[in-house]
Amino acid sequence: MGKSDLLLELYSNLGTTGALSFSSKTLVKKMLNHVDFKGAKLIIELGGGDGSITKGIVDKLEPGTELLVFEISKSFCKSMESQFPQENVRIINDSAENIGEYLLGRKADYVLSSLPFSFFAPELRDQVLSQSKTALTQRGFFIQGCYSYLLKNHFKKHFTQVKTSFTLKNLPPAFVMVCK
């Protein structure tokens, strides 16, 4: 799948992709700065999209670390499966609200997300955030790239700490929210 096909998918499903363009390298770097890859056993990504964040994660993964990437678009999943054939990377064509079904009793060190929570019904948003918190180890972090500062209030319903940073070098400019 070429970049033009990925852009067509992005714009065809704006309600589920929630973005005008793919995550910039600056946004990916800003999100990954909060991840300590040494010693991490399991990382989850919600909303793999074109694989921009996935690539950043995969480039830093230690050999024993597993990455589960949730994506509801079959086109994006197919593209990511060919882009990331590594054995420790699993592309899952399912909704993020079903995280628990894939963990098999394990806990994640990090959940990174670029899901468009602003477009989600409140029930779905709460379900995904609740599942994300439950999926994390006690020391784990939920890291969200988003376009609305107002989402911070929703994250505070599920996490006791929410730290926010901002980057202009993304289209549109984006916030990174680190939740514990």
Q: What is the pLDDT of residues 16-67, one digit of tens each?
A: 444 556 789 999 999 999 999 999 999 999 999 999 999 999 999 999 999 9
Does the pLDDT at position 87 exceed 60? yes
pLDDT band at residue 3, thresholds of 50, 70 and 90?
Answer: low
CB contact at 8 A, 86 and 58: yes
Ramachandran sector of residue 141 (left: φ over 0; alpha: ψ -120 to 50; beta: rest) = beta
CB contact at 8 A, 157 and 129: yes
Q: Please state, as a whole number, how many other Cβ atoms lie within 10 Å of the Cβ of residue 111.
A: 27
Q: Is the pTM of this model over 0.85?
A: yes
**Per-residue pLDDT, 178:** 98
Choose among 178, 137, 135, 172: nearest CA to 159.
178
Say if residue 72 is exposed, middle or buried (CB neighbours under 10 Å; 0-12, 13-18, 19+). Answer: middle
CB contact at 8 A, 80 and 52: no
CATH number of 3-179: 3.40.50.150
**Per-residue pLDDT, 23:** 85
pLDDT tens digits, residue range 97-155? 999 999 999 999 999 999 999 999 999 999 999 999 999 999 999 999 999 999 999 99
